[in-house]
Amino acid sequence: MTSDPIRLGVVGLGRAFMLMLPTFRADPRVALVAAAAPRAASRKAFEKEFGGYTYETIEDLCADTSVEAIYVATPHQMHRDHVVAAARAGKHILVDKPLAISLDDGTAMVKACRDAGVHLIVGPSHSFDGPVVQAKCLIDEGAIGAVHMINTWNFTDFLYRPRRLEELDTKQGGGVVFSQGAHQIDIVRLLAGGRGRNVTAMTGQWDPRRPTEGAYAALMSFESGAFAAFTYSGYAHFDSDEWMEWIGELGHLKDPAQYGGARRALATIASAREEAALKTARTFGAGAEPSMPDHHEHFGPIIVSGDRGDLRLTPQGVHVYGDEARTFHPAAPVDVPRSEVAKALFDAVRCGRSPAQTGAWGLASLEVCHAILQSAETGLPVNLRHQVSVTGEEGPDDRS
């Protein structure tokens, strides 16, 4: 029946799953019925809380007839194999961002899902955040006229949180461009209409102990004539949540007195193995528990400029700066965190209504990640070929 919750299986019970756990516990549109994970402790914890069956492999999960959709929450380099396996089994798919590491893998994933006739949704990403959706509605209603420019910044401690070795290797999807750029790119593309034209960028690798990109700045143009500038630093110095009333990315209030905590904690770790173990301690079944947020999630300050005004996004809502008046549009209270992601999956599977963040959308955002890295290496602009609009319309290079 169309009102029944989505019977969801999960592959991967690590950090990505933990961040979605409050949603799965509270949103009636999804029901966790099965999981696959290599760690026995995580499988046992899943069975204790959610019941159902657990498996060691994606193949066994895909063979479970009680599962109608699968959340792929495994590391980036595993996405292609897991998504293709789920598609071939006829399961709809929610895959954590980024879609994949390589464009070839992303293209194969999109094709596999199209061939199988299943939905592929890429998320969660911050383009699902309530205030971002709210800003998009205001843009569509003409609150600031045509969008001409977007500026967005985020300064965090990302690079100094516990990491596995591959998370510090760009070729394996490590660094801030794939893991964090995907968020900014998705937000910018959603608010600008989707189809980018070209990208010029520079990146920073400033700590030889963390040998991957820790920062980038990029300028992106769009077919509409709009352009966007986005900046990210994960080097754990300035924290742009200072500009967001000390509300953290996940919607929790932060204590400014805890400045430097990530670097201090990392300084106590003696080896890469010990660091990886510390990250494992943050997975499901290891004792760590996510808490409910106080506010909407966000990804740093964002200002959208149109010919009749500007929008400024905050975790509490959206400020509109018009020609003669300034107004504030409060966001709805946070009842279920990341409810927009659950709604997107439900609407796709039960109602046949795909969100903007389809597999093709994820491929277009992944292309921008690669363009940032390529432009930083060559010093030249990179033209984009795999772009889609918010409504799913493809660019000339992607039309068959």
Q: Which domain does 146 fall in, by range?
A: 129-330
Tens digits of residue pLDDT in 335-347 = 999 999 999 999 9
How many other CB atoms sit within 10 Å of the CB of residue 231?
Answer: 16
Nearest of 126, 128, 26, 127 to residue 335 by alpha carbon: 26
User: Smallest Cα–Cα separation from 15: which of 282, 342, 341, 297?
Assistant: 282
Identify the CA nearest to 300 among candidates 151, 140, 162: 151
Helix (H) or strand (E) holding 317: strand 317-322
Through-space distance between the first and last CA atoms of the chain, rounded to whole angstroms: 35
DSSP states of 275-306? HHHHHHTTSTTSS------SS----S-EEEEE
Average pLDDT, the chain: 95
Per-residue pLDDT at 3: 86
* 229, 291: one domain: yes
Look up tokens 């193949």; give the residue: 59
80-119 residue pLDDT tens: 999 999 999 999 999 999 999 999 999 999 999 999 999 9
Q: 205, 213 in Cβ contact below 8 A? A: yes
Which tens digits make up the pLDDT trace of 355-380?
999 999 999 999 999 999 999 999 99
- Say if residues 34 and 54 touch (Cβ distance below 8 Å): yes
Identify whether residues 349 and 317 lie together within a single domain: no
pLDDT per position as a tens digit, 44-85: 999 999 999 999 999 999 999 999 999 999 999 999 999 999
Residue 258, token pair as written in the block: 């805890």
Task: Report d(CA 160, CA 262) in Å as an integer.
Answer: 6
Residue owning tokens 């991967």: 12
Residues 179, 286 share a domain: yes
Whether 267 is in a domain gets the answer yes
| Per-residue model confidence (pLDDT) at position 288 | 73
Residue 398 pLDDT greater than 70, yes or no: no
Confidence of residue 400 (pLDDT cuts 50, 70, 90): very low
pLDDT digits (tens, 9 = 90+) for 212-263: 999 999 999 999 999 999 999 999 999 999 999 999 999 999 999 999 999 9
Tell me, yes or no, whether 241 and 219 share the same domain.
yes
Are the beta carbons of 99 and 323 closer than 8 angstroms? no
Say how far apart CA 367 and CA 165 lie, in whole Å: 24
Q: Which H or E element spans position 189? A: helix 182-192
Q: What is the CATH number of the domain that holds 122?
A: 3.40.50.720
Residues 223 and 243 in one domain: yes
- The verdict on 107 and 174 lying in the same domain is no
Give the chain's domain count: 2
Secondary structure class of 379 (helix, strand, coil): coil
Residue length of the chain:
400
Q: What pTM was computed for the model?
A: 0.96
Does residue 381 lie within any of the structural domains? Answer: yes
The CATH number linked to 144 is 3.30.360.10
Clarify whether residues 155 and 211 are in a common domain: yes
Asked if 325 and 181 sit in the same domain, the reply is yes
369 within some domain: no
Is the same domain home to 390 and 295?
Answer: no
pLDDT at 312: 98
* Residue 30, in any domain of the structure: yes
